[in-house]
Amino acid sequence: MREVAVLGIGQTKVEEQWDKSLRELAGDAALAALQDAGVGRVDAVYTGNMMSGSANFQQHLGSYIADWIGMRFAEGLRLEAACSSGSAAFRTGVLAVASGAVDTALTVAVEKMTDSPANEITAELATAADAEWEGDQGLSFVALNALVMRRYMHEYGWQHADFMPFTLNAHANGAHNPYARFQKAISEKAYLNAPVVCDPINVMDASPMGDGAAAVLLVPAEALRRLPGARVITVLASSGATDTIAVHNRRHGPFLQAAYLSAQQAYRQARLTPDDIDFFELHDAFTIMAALSLEASGFAERGQAPRLALDGEIRPTGRIPIATLGGLKARGHPVGATGMYQIVEVIRQLRGEAGGAQIDGARIGMTQNIGGSGSNILTHILGCS
Instruction: Tell me which residues touch its own copies (CB under 8 A).
Output: 1-2, 21, 44-45, 50-51, 53-54, 56-64, 66-68, 71-82, 88, 91-92, 95-96, 98-101, 123-124, 126-132, 135, 238-246, 249, 257-258, 261, 371-372, 375-376
Sheet holding 4-11, edge to edge: 44-48, 105-111, 212-220, 4-11, 233-242, 376-384, 364-371, 279-281
Residue 173 C-beta: closest distance to its own copies, Å: 29
Which of 32, 29, 10, 8 is closest to 20 using CA atoms? 29
Rounded distance between C-alpha atoms, residue 287 and residue 145, angstroms: 10
Residue 357 C-beta: closest distance to its own copies, Å: 31
To the query of whether residue 83 is one of the catalytic residues in this protein, the response is yes
Select which of 176, 283, 333, 380 is catalytic: 333
Rounded distance between C-alpha atoms, residue 277 and residue 294, angstroms: 12
Nearer to its own copies, 59 or 304 (CB): 59
Phi, psi of 370 (to 5 degrees): -110, 125
Residue 143 C-beta: closest distance to its own copies, Å: 17
Nearer to its own copies, 79 or 204 (CB): 79
Nearer to its own copies, 33 or 314 (CB): 33
Residue 239 C-beta: closest distance to its own copies, Å: 7
- Listing DSSP states for 181-220 in one string gives S--S---HHHHHTPPEEETTEEGGGBPP--BEEEEEEEEE
For residue 248, give the 3-state DSSP assignment. helix
Question: How many C-alpha atoms does 5 have within 13 Å on its Cβ side?
Answer: 16
Select which of 83, 176, 283, 380 is catalytic: 83
Nearer to its own copies, 246 or 290 (CB): 246
* Catalytic residue ranges: 83, 333
